[in-house]
Amino acid sequence: MLSYIIRKLMYSLLVLVGVIVMTFFIRPPGDPARVMLGQRADSASVAALRTKMGLDRPLPVQIGSYAWNLVTRLDMGRSIATDASVAETIAERFPATALLAGTSMAIATVVGIVLGLIASWKPNTWIDTTAMALSLTGISIPSFVVGLLFVILFGVTLEWFPNSGYVDRGAAYLVLPMITLAIRPMSVIARVTRSSLLDVLGQDYIRTARAKGLATTTVYLRHALRNALNPVVTTVSAWFAGLLAGTYFIEFVFNWPGIGLAAFNAIEKLDYPMIQGTVLFTAVVFVIVNIASDILYAFIDPKVRLQ
Amino acid sequence: MTADKRLRGDSPWQLAWRRLRKNVGAIIGMSIIAVMILMAVFAPLITPFEPTTSILEYAVKPAGFRGSILKKINPSNPETPTLIAVDSWHVDNDTVRWTDPVGTPYREHVSAMFGSGPGDWHDEPLFIMGTDRQGRDIYTRLVYGLRVSLSVGLISESIALMIGIMLGALAGFYRGWVDDVVMWGVNVVWAFPSILLVIAFSVMLGQGFWQTFIAIGVSSWVDIARIVRGQFFSIREQDYIEATRAFGFGSIRVVLRHMLPNAMGPIIVLGTAGFATAIIAEASLSFIGLGVQPPMPSWGQMIREGVGYVALGTNWEMTAFPCLAMALAVFAVNLFGDGLRDVFDPKTTQRS
């Protein structure tokens, strides 16, 4: 068990090395110093800035020092546009994004599993078809499009919910961005739950449970759902990083002051240290969530350890 | 005759087609895609304007707005006339007199007008979906935007398939350290949510038509590589692959002629899903200001232009129509893809 965990951790470190190197290369083509100073700057000041930013050093040294600053001091550089520390910006804005992503994921998981249950209850009937068509629609529409359609419908036309702003002005501000962000993972979870349940329901032990005369509800909830949830857990953990990426657009549409909004603004201005920081943050969260769920699995399911 | 046919059996592709034909969702999806392809190809025939034609006087008009325009000869380009929005106009001997929407009177000799008569130089075009901030017809731009979306789906997905199949085949065929290296790369790339990867590559490559295609393509090969690798792992164990080795076939021939065709089902399913994802990725990119650059129309850009009006609570059609168009396009592709999945899923395979 221990050796399995250590092996997994070492491999994740190896992946993180790759992630950091890749992040280093997220920068616009051309000379960053020239981009920062503008086309009219004289070559002497460009050269001076290059030295200051360390751009005159060989590439491996630059990558090394980027990784070193990152690992030892959590230093991700400073924003080109605002000169704010990237790491501090991310830390400041994390609570807003965590609130949005956390509540969305909770809703997506619960509603998604329920939808999947309903659909698999009577497969290939109109209930199933409707639930699956709904989830296919959810997958088909990009989150910012859903967000804008929601703003038009619920914010502007019906005026049910405020369409822009943070929860410090009231909990109602959370509703639209949260639902918007939840729709895609919810649709995916519903589909995974359905197919996984249909799989499990075909197994012999379900037939045995039914033959014992257990109520259909008991068979469903106690025997089938518990065994069908494994792929669902994988989906939820895999979607978490995707959800963080989704906040880039949702936070812009709803003017939600989280990491995503900072990233969106940085992308528009090609403010690459900020882009690197936010992208790296999301990737690291993904790797950590992934390794955590892997280890959790090893505890739950002995088959995993032996592979 | 019939007996002969039964003996020979159907090819897997004929079987697949027969099963696909029975899938209502797939047929609906396919029909919508077909209509969209036709619209994209024949865009100039079904749109009243060029995608870049702007009549500034008609900026931000609601859906269903009917304009009134005069066409004047454009000295620098005799093919396309200059369009002038008019409030009222009449011909007075050899002079055309008109007032513009603000009420300023103008006149011009008929010889300066486009075409040979009032029928040629006057038009009352209908802007079914309204106009954007620069007075361009939203419907026209939507149809031309379809060209961008469909080509992104096609070209980016081809790039992704090429990379994914190649790396997946390498890993699955040679295994060992080749597999380790490829899988390391896969896991690194996989750690970035796909849209962030697209954004990252787009920042690295710069903005533009081809850069966007490549950025999306090189971001979307991971799933394909994984599935091809998995398929190759199991196909390699089959007896017929053993047989090819007994014949002394070379590796490339075995992979291309005997292994790849047998892994095609899941690849096609993933490729279709990737087509939809690529359309979304391009729209997201141009929404954020990366991606295809103006004046080339793209749905993401059009949606972005309307956002400010949505916040104001006016002119929702500027955002709603491109949003709905994209939802429909992606829905159609996914519907088709779902049908394909049912067809190729071995769990549901049966002679039908």
Q: Note the pLDDT tens digit of each residue in B169-193.
A: 999 988 889 999 999 999 899 888 8
CB B282 within 8 A of CB B291: yes
Q: Is B203–A27 a contact, with Cβ atoms under 8 angstroms apart?
A: yes
Q: Is A249–B196 a contact, with Cβ atoms under 8 angstroms apart?
A: no
State pLDDT tens for residues A122-162: 877 888 888 888 888 888 888 888 888 888 888 777 878 87
The closest alpha carbon to B140, from B68, B64, B45, belongs to B45
CB B199 within 8 A of CB B288: yes
So what's the pLDDT on residue B347? 53
- Look up residue A263 and give its amino acid: A
> In terms of residue numbers, what domain contains B224?
3-42+137-344
Query: Taking residues B323-331, what's their average pLDDT?
Result: 91
B99 shares a domain with B9: no
Instruction: State yes or no: pLDDT of B25 exceeds 60.
Output: yes
Q: Is A149–B323 a contact, with Cβ atoms under 8 angstroms apart?
A: yes
Q: Which domains does chain A have, with CATH numbers?
A: 2-73 (no CATH), 89-306 (1.10.3720.10)
Task: Find which of A144, A200, A239, A271 to mutate to test the B interface (most B CBs within 10 Å of its CB).
Answer: A144
- Percent with pLDDT over 70 in chain B: 95
Q: What is the C-alpha separation between A216 and B117, in angstroms, rounded? A: 79
So what's the pLDDT on residue B349? 43
pTM: 0.85
CB A137 within 8 A of CB A123: no
Neighbours of B327 (CB within 10 A): 18
Q: Quick check: B290 contacting A, CB < 8 Å?
A: yes
State pLDDT tens for residues A260-281: 999 999 988 888 899 999 999 9
Instruction: State yes or no: pLDDT of B2 exceeds 80.
Output: no
B286 shares a domain with B223: yes
- H helix or E strand, kind and range, residue B109: strand B105-109
State pLDDT tens for residues A215-230: 888 887 778 887 788 7
Q: Is A19–B191 a contact, with Cβ atoms under 8 angstroms apart?
A: yes
Q: How confident is the model at residue B5 (pLDDT cuts 50, 70, 90)?
A: low
Instruction: State yes or no: pLDDT of A111 exceeds 80.
Output: yes
Domain membership flag for residue B53:
no
CATH number for the domain that contains residue B263: 1.10.3720.10
Task: Select the residue of A156, A245, A253 nearest B195 (Cβ to Cβ).
Answer: A245
Domain membership flag for residue B283:
yes
B334 shares a domain with B227: yes
Query: Taking residues B4-15, what's their average pLDDT?
Result: 66
B80 shares a domain with B12: no
B258 shares a domain with B196: yes
Domain membership flag for residue B277:
yes
Q: How confident is the model at residue B6 (pLDDT cuts 50, 70, 90)?
A: low
Q: Which residue has the higher pLDDT, B344 or A67?
A: A67
Task: Select the residue of A140, A242, A267 nearest B327 (Cβ to Cβ).
Answer: A140
So what's the pLDDT on residue B352? 33
Query: Taking residues B7-21, what's their average pLDDT?
Result: 75
Task: Please give the angle made by the CA atoms of A190, A193 and A198, to the nearest 5 degrees.
Answer: 125
Q: What is the C-alpha separation between B85 and B76, in angstroms, rounded? A: 20
| A chain contacts of residue B338, beta-carbon cutoff 8 Å | 136
Q: What are phi and psi of B180, to 5 degrees?
A: -60, -45
So what's the pLDDT on residue B156? 95
Q: Quick check: A135 contacting B, CB < 8 Å?
A: no
State pLDDT tens for residues B54-86: 888 888 888 888 988 888 888 888 888 888 888
> How far is the alpha carbon of A265 from chain B, nearest alpha carbon, in Å?
9
B74 shares a domain with B7: no
B288 shares a domain with B209: yes
Q: What is the C-alpha separation between B40 and B150, in angstroms, rounded? A: 8
Torsion angle of C-alpha atoms A32, A38, A43, A46, degrees rounded to 10: -40
Helix axes B317-344, B264-288, angle to 10 degrees: 170
CB B333 within 8 A of CB B153: yes
- CA A295 to chain CA centroid, Å, is 20
Domains: count for chain B? 2
Window 14-53 of A, Cβ < 8 Å to B:
14-15, 18-19, 22-23, 25-29
B277 shares a domain with B241: yes
B118 shares a domain with B144: no
| B chain contacts of residue A150, beta-carbon cutoff 8 Å | none
Instruction: State yes or no: pLDDT of B155 exceeds 80.
Output: yes
| Look-up of token digits 């650059």 | B293
Task: Select the residue of B194, B204, B323 nearest A25 (Cβ to Cβ).
Answer: B204
